[in-house]
Amino acid sequence: MQDFSFLTTWLDNSLRSIMPGWLSVTVECLLVGVGLLLVYALLALFYIYYERKLCAAFQCRLGPNRVGPWGLLQSFADMFKMLIKEIIHLNHIDRFLFALAPYLVIIASMLAFAVLPWGNGLQIIDFNIGIFFLIAVSSIGVLGILLAGWSSNNKFTLIGSLRSGAQMVSYELSIGLSVITMVCLAGTMSVGGIVQEQENLWFIFKGHVPAVIAFIIYMIAGTAETNRGPFDLPEAESELTAGYHTEYSGMHFGFFYLAEYLNLFIVSGVASLLFLGGWMPLHFPGWDAFNHIMDYIPSVVWFIGKAVLLSFVIIWFKWTFPRLRIDQLLSLEWKYLLPINLVNLVLMVLIIVNGWHF
């Protein structure tokens, strides 16, 4: 399989040969930041178009089809419209916290985005507690949502943010336990180490029934964590106009909009990392010819393909199931998902201790 680390090594050596070490590190950080922002923006534009087309297919409609061939430029047109929209300044709000909230949401999303392993040798940061770091930074987003609701001085935004806080804090438990279950199987919290452990077989197959249960619970909890239907109570348009971002306009609203779609990709990317091998091709022990053919597909294609496929499942949830009530949403987590997850974690530990996994 092609290793992209040669590219990063060549870039690092080239910069160090023409400038001091501290300056080369600064330039590399700037390049990484610009690259992240570019990929972030392009993925958001793709996901907006992707969901619109999927929604249209589910509802027997055409979806975007006027701006550009097959409506491909519709997302770009919406982006330019968002950029030129006026940011309306409101009275009787906490101006500092109101302005800070969307940046907290976008920063949390960007930090989690940076940990994902995009390919063999294409990872911005990898250290021995990478999964712990990922869970920690992704939890920052709820602070931005709570601040947005409280600082807007609006009863609809406050109700939406409180719903979101209760929902995200609750479902983070299920996400954390699902992640811990797979970390136990991997034996490491390093993102790169988890991918390498799936070289011969993905964890969804290697971990038997507990891995499948953890995967199903992760997908349900991940959908709730991103405030997407049928768990979109914080933005329930029929009840709260637009939820916690009712009072936002212009690019401030755009930040919330971007973060929602990128969080969808992050949840899908982490699921592919933990259960489907990340950028690792599909390998089966003893199937040498099949494994060799799979190695021809670039690792970047494997990772993005898995993430987009899992995103399709989450979008399918949204356009299939009706919105839950708040009591149903919290009962699902505390009465069902959390107890099942705890039992599943114990079951996974027993399988590992007794060596029953593949």
pLDDT tens across 34-49, in order? Answer: 888 888 888 888 998 9
Give the whole-number percent of the chain exceeding pLDDT 90.
Answer: 20
Binned at pLDDT 50, 70 and 90, residue 241 comes out as: low
Structural domain includes residue 243 = yes
6-17, pLDDT tens digit by residue? 777 888 888 888
Residues 109, 120: Cα–Cα separation, whole Å: 23
Structural domain includes residue 94 = yes
Structural domain includes residue 39 = no
Binned at pLDDT 50, 70 and 90, residue 238 comes out as: low
Neighbour-count burial of 294, counting CB atoms closer than 10 A to its CB (0-12 exposed, 13-18 middle, 19+ buried): middle
Binned at pLDDT 50, 70 and 90, residue 117 comes out as: confident
Q: What is the mean pLDDT of residues 100-117?
A: 87
- Scanning the structure block, which residue is given the tokens 């974690």? 345
Q: What is the mean pLDDT of residues 325-341?
A: 90
**Residue 1 confidence (pLDDT):** 64
Structural domain includes residue 21 = no
**Residue 183 confidence (pLDDT):** 92
SS3 119: strand
Structural domain includes residue 169 = yes
Mean pLDDT, the chain, integer: 85
**Residue 322 confidence (pLDDT):** 85
200-230, pLDDT tens digit by residue? 888 998 888 899 999 999 999 999 888 787 8
Beta bridge partners of 119: 122
Binned at pLDDT 50, 70 and 90, residue 237 comes out as: low
Binned at pLDDT 50, 70 and 90, residue 240 comes out as: low
Residue 339 has pLDDT above 90, yes or no: yes
Residue 358 has pLDDT above 80, yes or no: no
Structural domain includes residue 265 = yes
Instruction: Looking at the chain, list the stretches that DSSP marks H as alpha helix, in order from N- to C-terminal side.
Output: 5-18, 21-58, 74-84, 95-115, 130-138, 141-151, 155-186, 191-196, 203-206, 208-225, 237-240, 250-275, 288-294, 299-318, 326-331, 338-353
DSSP 230: T
Structural domain includes residue 294 = yes
Q: What residues contact 2, with CB distance under 8 A and at least 6 apart?
A: 120, 298, 299
163-198, pLDDT tens digit by residue? 778 888 888 899 999 999 999 998 888 888 898 888
Structural domain includes residue 90 = yes
Residue 125 has pLDDT above 70, yes or no: yes
**Residue 144 confidence (pLDDT):** 84
Residues 272, 115: Cα–Cα separation, whole Å: 13
> Total domain count for the chain?
1
Q: What is the mean pLDDT of residues 300-305?
A: 91
Q: What residues contact 73, with CB distance under 8 A and at least 6 apart?
A: 67
Residue-range definition of the domain harbouring residue 297: 72-353
